[in-house]
Amino acid sequence: MRSSHYILGLKREMASDRVHASLPDPPNQSEEENQEEDKAFGSIFAELESVDLPLGTTLRSIYDDQPNAHKRFMEKLDARIRNHDREIEKMCNFHHQGFVDAITELLKVRADAEKLMGQVTDTNRRLQEAGREVTAQTEEVIRCRIQQRNMATTVEKLQLCIPVLEMYSKLKEQLESKRYYAALKTMEQLEKVYIPRVSQYRFCQIMAENLPRLREEIKDISMSDLKDFLESIRKHSDKVGETAMRQAQQHRTFNSAVAKQASMGHYMKPVYSLSGQTHTHNGLMMDDTGDEEEADEEVLTAHDLVDFSPVYRCLHIYTVLGDRETFENYYRKQRKKQARLVLQPQANMHETVEGYRRYFNQIVGFFVVEDHILHATRGLVTRAFTDELWNMALSKIIAVLRTHSSYCNDPDLVLELKNLIVIFADTLQGYGFPVNRLFDLLFEVRDQYNETLLKKWALVFREIFELDNYSPIPVETEEEYKLVVSRFPFHDAEVEKQQDFPKKLPMSQSVPQIYTQVKEFIYASLKFSESLHRSSTEIDDMLRKSTNLLLTRTLSSCLQNLIKKPHIGLTELVQIIINTTHLEQACRYLEEFITNITNVSPETVHTTRLYGLSTFKDARHAAEGEIYTKLNQKIDEFIQLADYEWGMAESDGRASGYLMDLINFLRSTFQVFTHLPNNNNDHASMSGKVAQTACMSACKHLSTSLMQMLLDTELKQVSMGAIQQFNLDVIQCELFASSEPVPGFQGDTLQLAFIDLRQLLDLFMVWDWSTYLADYGQPTSKYLRVNPATALALLEKMKDTSKKNNIFSQFRKNDRDKQKLIETVVRQLRSLVNGMSS
């Protein structure tokens, strides 16, 4: 039917095309051709009826086949359509009665269907009402079954989740109780065992996500605890160091007591531990006060004073977390920083011994803690690290002590510092740290100690000299004499023979005081040598060297300054000379004193000798020189009072007043020397020698001063009257020299000091130029000591006077002759002077 309808539609289209097309009529065909054509169109129609679109190829074959094919196709198509219409009509006629019958039967069934529909509807209603209760009960059963199944599933899953939750709860409790190491172990179990079983649940995912955060929190908390520990240990280092140094000091005291007992035959073997208990075999221990304590008394250690658990805990935590290297680097870096802070001293540390003690306690505490960490942990710090810290600290400590000890001027403080350094070195040596450089530093500190001692004793010596009366020591009774002799090794046979009191000892009171203070200095110097682990020979050498410094530098300087003081007169200077002689003689007793202390024989090859002999000799020579200088200064003061009238015609006939005063002063001065005690032959010879030298020096200086006055370049004219007056003064000087103001001069030795003046004045007074010129250069010349230049200078001063003097105006011829003589002598003297210069 579909094909028929399609063919009909195609026919209409082609018919329409035929209307519009003007094609020629097909030619007449034969019967055979018609059959073939019918067969061809039949195949086309069959194809059209059986094939769906597209039909382009089939239709194109219709038009492209033969001319007028379209027309013939349309004709064939119309015939084909009519044929199909007839078949359709036949079919409809055949089935029409059955269709009518079916409709009639269907109308009959309609009423029954409606009745049946009503019955079914009613039945369905009643069935729904009856099954509603069953449905409700069924749904309840289904719901209960689902709940039961869910509960079973829930119980099963909860049995898997409960261990996870219990472990997580345990983790929280461990975190709250700060059991971080156990918490990390719990986390590890959660991650590896429990959470993988129930990893599909969100709460487990949240737990798994929280675990890294909790690990970081534990790391942060443990690091915070470590920082608190580092801060705490910095505060407690002082106490740790103090305890360790006290134990080291007790150990030294104990060993000293054991050594003493061993030397007495009562030896007790010590069992000592810096980190445990201290006892001996008889159960007694000696402390630094000498009291006996029970051996079971506990000795505090660094572990007792410091809680190291934060370090251990943090180390375990970082080890578990696989970050141990980071922790080790951080700990070492922080300890290095703390070491630098500990090694930084306070600015005023040198002022008190407590400043040094705190400094040493902190350093000892630091290294005691590091030693404990070294032995209590595995690899947190190494021996190489502690050695590096110690070497750095040792260099800093030595530099600090050098600097601060140089500021110290108190020998007691320096001695305390030395004792602290020794205990400090012994303490750290007990922990295995090398301390040789500290003992080498003690030699530098010893030099500083000696310097402070020398400064202190310089003040002592100056005070002794200031309070001395520079007069012989009066001894009223035998007890006073024994007291002086006990303080100073005085031995004088003449004084000892004198049975009667009072007596006078030749030296002044400063001598026994100086001797006593030198011994005190030796004792003070010896204190520093204790506990330095040095031999007796080295200690003896140190004592002698320091004593030599005291004598040659400090005491010598004090004596030199004393001698130069303006208020020290000639009497005091003479007493100083006597005092230095006694001190010089006492030097051998000082050597014996040192020998008795050190038990080192003075015959030892390398034994240093005391230089006191040269020191006191130098002081004595300086005092003698000062005597001569003061005498000369006094002479100069009198000379400055001279007031000669150089143009006077005649002399006054008596010596000048200033010169007589000067001679009287010299007489009284030299009488002081004669009044010194001569009960000792050495003293008498010494004072006599000093007096002779002083007298000779004074006469020579007086002669030189008078000569310089006469030849002064500012003095232009000198008259014969002035020469005569000057001659009178020189005569008084010669009389003073011949009067033997100081005993001991032989013949006219003292008068020879004025021989130059005497010969010069005689030459001018006698006017004996012919003899002078004739005998000049001869050893037997009467005027051998007169220098031509000196005579020429004085003669020229007189020549200028003669020109202006009118005293010879009435004797013109004599005046002219004298002038000619003077000019002749002047020429001859100049020739002699020129000959000497050439």
- Burial pattern 417-451, b for ≥16 Cβ within 10 A else e, equals bbbbbbbbbbbbebbebebeebeebbeebbebbbb
Q: Is 60 exceeded by the pLDDT of residue 806?
A: no
Q: Is 90 exceeded by the pLDDT of residue 144?
A: yes
pLDDT at position 285 is 35
pLDDT at position 686 is 53
Q: Is 50 exceeded by the pLDDT of residue 161?
A: yes
Query: Which contacts (CB < 8 Å, 24+ apart) does range 267-276 have?
Result: 273/299, 274/244, 274/247, 274/248, 274/299, 274/301, 274/430, 274/431, 275/299, 275/301, 275/302, 275/303, 276/301
Work out the mean pLDDT of the chain and round it to a whole number: 79
Q: State the average pLDDT over residues 721-750.
A: 87
Measured in degrees and rounded to the nearest 5, phi and psi for residue 283 equal: 80, 20
Q: Is 80 exceeded by the pLDDT of residue 675?
A: no
Highest mean pLDDT among 302-311, 316-325, 761-770: 761-770
Do residues 676 and 658 lie in contact, with contact meaning Cβ atoms separated by under 8 Å? no
Residue in this structure with the two tokens 């039945």, named with its chain if needed: 123
Per-residue pLDDT band at 603 (split at 50, 70, 90):
low
Q: Is 60 exceeded by the pLDDT of residue 502?
A: yes
297: which strand partners?
none
Per-residue pLDDT band at 63 (split at 50, 70, 90):
low
CA–CA dist 338, 392 (Å, integer): 13
Q: Is 70 exceeded by the pLDDT of residue 422?
A: yes
Per-residue pLDDT band at 616 (split at 50, 70, 90):
confident
CA–CA dist 690, 470 (Å, integer): 17
Q: Is 60 exceeded by the pLDDT of residue 804?
A: no
Measured in degrees and rounded to the nearest 5, phi and psi for residue 683 equal: -65, -40
Q: Is 70 exceeded by the pLDDT of residue 670?
A: yes
Of the two residues 815 and 205, the one the predictor is more confident about is 205
Q: What percent of the chain has pLDDT over 70?
A: 81
Nearest to 745 by CA among 736, 756, 732, 757: 736
Burial class of residue 762 in the structure, from the number of CB atoms within 10 Å of its CB (0-12 exposed, 13-18 middle, 19+ buried)? middle
Of 67-76, 487-496, 607-616, where does mean pLDDT reach its minimum? 607-616
Q: State the average pLDDT over residues 629-639.
A: 89
Q: What is the pLDDT of residues 245-301, one digit of tens each?
A: 888 888 777 766 665 565 444 434 333 333 333 333 333 333 343 443 433 345 566
Per-residue pLDDT band at 447 (split at 50, 70, 90):
confident
Q: Is 60 exceeded by the pLDDT of residue 19?
A: no
pLDDT at position 545 is 85
pLDDT at position 54 is 62
Q: What is the pLDDT of residues 533-571, one digit of tens each?
A: 677 788 888 888 888 888 888 888 888 888 888 888 877
Between the CA of residue 556 and those of 463, 509, 550, 611, what are the distances in Å? 15, 18, 8, 11
Question: Could you tell me whether strands 292-294 and 284-286 are parallel, antiparallel, or unpaired per DSSP bridges?
Answer: antiparallel
Per-residue pLDDT band at 146 (split at 50, 70, 90):
very high
Measured in degrees and rounded to the nearest 5, phi and psi for residue 277 equal: -115, 155
CA–CA dist 635, 659 (Å, integer): 10
Categorise residue 184: left if φ over 0, alpha if ψ from -120 to 50, beta otherwise. alpha
pLDDT at position 6 is 47
Do residues 269 and 285 lie in contact, with contact meaning Cβ atoms separated by under 8 Å? no
- Is residue 271 within a helix (H) or strand (E), and if so which, with residue range? strand 270-271
pLDDT at position 459 is 92
| C-alpha atoms less than 13 angstroms from C-alpha of 536 in its C-beta half-sphere | 10
CA–CA dist 510, 468 (Å, integer): 6
Q: State the average pLDDT over residues 54-68.
A: 65
Task: Give the pTM.
Answer: 0.62
Do residues 639 and 712 lie in contact, with contact meaning Cβ atoms separated by under 8 Å? no
Q: What percent of the chain has pLDDT over 90?
A: 7
Q: State the average pLDDT over residues 759-784.
A: 88
